[in-house]
Amino acid sequence: MDSILSINSLKKVGLYSLIVASLTSASFVEAKTDITFWHAMSGQLGEEVNGLVQQFNASQNDFEVSAVYKGNYDETITAGIAAIRTGESPEILQVYEVGTATMISSNAIVPVYEVFEKANLPFDESLYVDTVRSYYTDSQSGRMLSMPFNSSTPVLYYNKDAYKKAGLDPKTPPKTWQEVETHAKKLLESGMSCGYTFSNAPWVHLENFSAWHGLPFATLNNGYDGLSAELQVNTANHINFLNFLNQMNKDKTLQYFGRRDEGMEKFYNGDCGIFTGSSGSRGSIEANAKFELGMGFLPYLEGISSAPQNTMIGGASLWVMKDKSEDTYKGIAAFLSYLALPENAARWHQNTGYVPVTLAGYELTKQQGFYDKNPGANVAIEQLLFKEPLPHTRGLRLGNMTQIRQIADEEFEAVLTGQKSPESALNDINTRANQQLRRFEKSNQ
């Protein structure tokens, strides 16, 4: 099978070399074509991005990619939109997953499948992990619009040393939320100051609670089927779950420390015994924790027959801007091909904690024995592959998702501080979020 990701093809002919050769054989290139890549990866992640870019630049003589850090996700997409309006956009822009609807509506991008067509290169989309690919596909054609890059999903982390002290089996993480509650109580009884905590509540406790339990997050298949979608998070199942978490909060088996990474820091500092957060945090947790780390699937709530289903991704993808030269698109295709090579997808996964976005990268990681040496590192990808995604568990295609997550954070905090009941807060999330969706619909019809 012809594919930029086929291991067999790579073994037989060195496909990447053929790609570069095919792009340059027709004419002599006197100067390198410059390609600017704006991204939001800082610290160790930024170093990994720079390493991949440097390797690509060294692998051929025709294209020069410049990786430019533009700040966090919000800052990067803001800079990108401003540059689009002035006609000075980069060639490649990294955008977080909740910016997908915004990018589609921007009229400033070239779908990634068209980039490969412009470069006359094969592009086998089926070799991407289904729950990764589907987040970035066109709802009409099913073709990929952007190139998956750093994808994560929420997982459970636990402190194996604390489990031993509490008389819990360090080899058995909690599978259900009821077990999380039981384990958290025993951790407190053993002397820990915090049983369970989390980060990014809207992503973990609303969006992925819905997907993991086979429930819609919004109508119209989470917005894939039209701009008139409405949030659907005040169902009996969502209310029961938030009631359950709020009771844990009242019992002090759950402690809330903030909207972002405050909970993760309390976990790796040894204060909390159980934490749910991004699989992309594995590297940071391992670097800071002074205990043996355990990982498990995101818990599910007993009593919901459709659970567990599959989780949805977070992270970001790479978007290609329009109105660039023919040579530029050839270079972009070569660079995206390079990132997708099994060894590069595997390296990115192993060094960062993000999931391998291709099946070939996943299989290569297994063949290299990485999961044997790093138990739990396979949890995220296996969670995404647990079941074939349903039309309403493949992702979200909703506008103004940054604002909607902020609303969810505010309402979630109102519950945990005793200002609102779970039912009232979820009703308000629906109402306020739907106002944001109608604004987006009106401006993008």
Residue-wise burial string across 367-400, b where 16 or more C-beta atoms lie within 10 A, e elsewhere: eeeebeeeebbbbbbebbbeeebbebbbbbbbbb
Are 433 and 300 within one domain?
yes
The DSSP string of 427-440 is HHHHHHHHHHHHHH
- Tell me the average pLDDT across 74-92: 94
The per-type count for the chain, helices as H runs and strands as E runs, is 22, 10
What tens digit of pLDDT does each residue of 345-381 get? 999 999 988 999 999 999 999 999 999 999 889 999 9
pLDDT of residue 28: 46
Same domain, 109 and 17: yes
More confident residue, 422 or 7: 422
Task: Please state, for a pLDDT cut of 70, what percent of the chain lies above it.
Answer: 93
- Is residue 239 in some structural domain? yes
Sign of the alpha-carbon dihedral angle for 93, 98, 102, 107: positive
**What gap in Å lies between CA 275 and CA 197, rounded to an integer?**
5
Give the separation between CA 79 and CA 86, rounded to whole angstroms. Answer: 11
> Among all chains, which residue has been given the structure tokens 């043996």?
292
Residues 279 and 328 in one domain: no
The span from the CA of 134 to the CA of 396, in Å, is 10
Condensed to tens digits (0 to 9), the pLDDT of residues 222-231 reads: 999 999 999 9
pLDDT exceeds cutoff 90 at 17: no
Residue 393 lies in a domain: no
Question: Domain with 14 in it: what CATH number?
Answer: 3.40.190.10
Residue 63: which H helix or E strand, with range? Answer: strand 63-69
Which pLDDT band, with edges at 50, 70 and 90, does 139 fall under? confident
394 domain-assigned = no
Residue 151's pLDDT is 95
% of the chain surpassing 90 pLDDT: 85
* pLDDT reading at 21 higher than 70: no
Tell me the C-alpha distance between 237 and 169, whole Å: 30
Which two structure tokens, joined as six digits, stand for 198? 């989390």
Residue 378 lies in a domain: no
Q: Which domain range does residue 237 map to?
A: 154-311+399-444
Task: Let me know if residue 392 belongs to a domain.
Answer: no
pLDDT of residue 260: 85
Query: Does the residue 148 lie in any domain?
Result: yes
Mean pLDDT over 288-300 rounds to 97
DSSP letter for 420, please.
Answer: S
Are residue 362 and residue 228 in the same domain, yes or no?
no
Exposure string (b/e) for 6-41, b if CB count within 10 Å is 16 or more?
bbebbeeeebbeebbeebbeeeeeeeebebbbbbbb
Does 83 have pLDDT greater than 90?
Answer: yes
CA 315 to chain centre: 3
223 in a domain, yes or no? yes
Instruction: Report the run of H or E that residue 148 belongs to, with start and end.
Output: strand 147-152
Q: Write down the pLDDT at residue 23.
A: 53
Convert the pLDDT of each residue in 236-288 to its tens digit. 999 999 999 999 999 999 999 998 899 999 999 999 999 999 998 988 899 89
Asked if 259 contacts 200 with a C-beta cutoff of 8 angstroms, the reply is yes
Q: Please say if the pLDDT value at position 9 is more than 50.
A: no
Q: Does residue 134 belong to any structural domain of this protein?
A: yes
What's the pLDDT at 1?
39
Instruction: Answer yes or no: do 187 and 272 share one domain.
Output: yes
**Both tokens of residue 37?**
């890549």
CA proximity to 303, closest of 369, 239, 250, 383: 239
Which pTM does this prediction carry? 0.88
Each residue of 154-166: pLDDT tens digit? 999 999 999 999 9
Q: What is the pLDDT of residues 378-393, one digit of tens each?
A: 999 999 999 999 999 9
pLDDT digits (tens, 9 = 90+) for 408-434: 999 999 999 999 999 999 999 999 999
Same domain, 294 and 205: yes
101 and 42: one domain? yes
**pLDDT(30) > 90:** no
pLDDT bin (cut points 50, 70, 90) of residue 27 is very low
Half-sphere exposure of 429 (CA within 13 A, CB side): 33
Residues pairing with 409 in the sheet: none
Assigned token pair, 358:
């291709």
Same domain, 118 and 99: yes
Position 326, amino acid:
E
Segment 147-198, tens digit of pLDDT: 999 999 999 999 999 999 999 999 999 999 999 999 999 999 999 999 999 9
Residue 19's pLDDT band (cuts 50, 70, 90): low
Does residue 185 sit in the same domain as residue 299? yes
Cβ atoms of residues 278 and 154 within 8 Å:
yes
Q: Say whether both 130 and 114 belong to one domain.
A: yes
The amino acid present at 176, given as its one-letter code, is T
362 and 424 in a single domain? The answer is no
Domain count, the chain: 2
Do the beta carbons of residue 238 and residue 160 sit within 8 Å? Answer: no
The one-letter amino acid code at 42 reads S
Domain boundary among 373, 408, 424: 373
Cα 437 from Cα 435, distance rounded (Å): 5
- pLDDT band at residue 24, thresholds of 50, 70 and 90? low
Last residue within a domain, chosen from 337, 356, 373? 373
Question: Could you give phi then psi for residue 3, rounded to 5 degrees?
Answer: -165, 145
Would the pLDDT of 10 be above 60?
no
Q: Tell me, yes or no, whether 271 and 164 share the same domain.
A: yes
Q: Residue 155: in which H helix or E strand, if any? A: strand 154-159
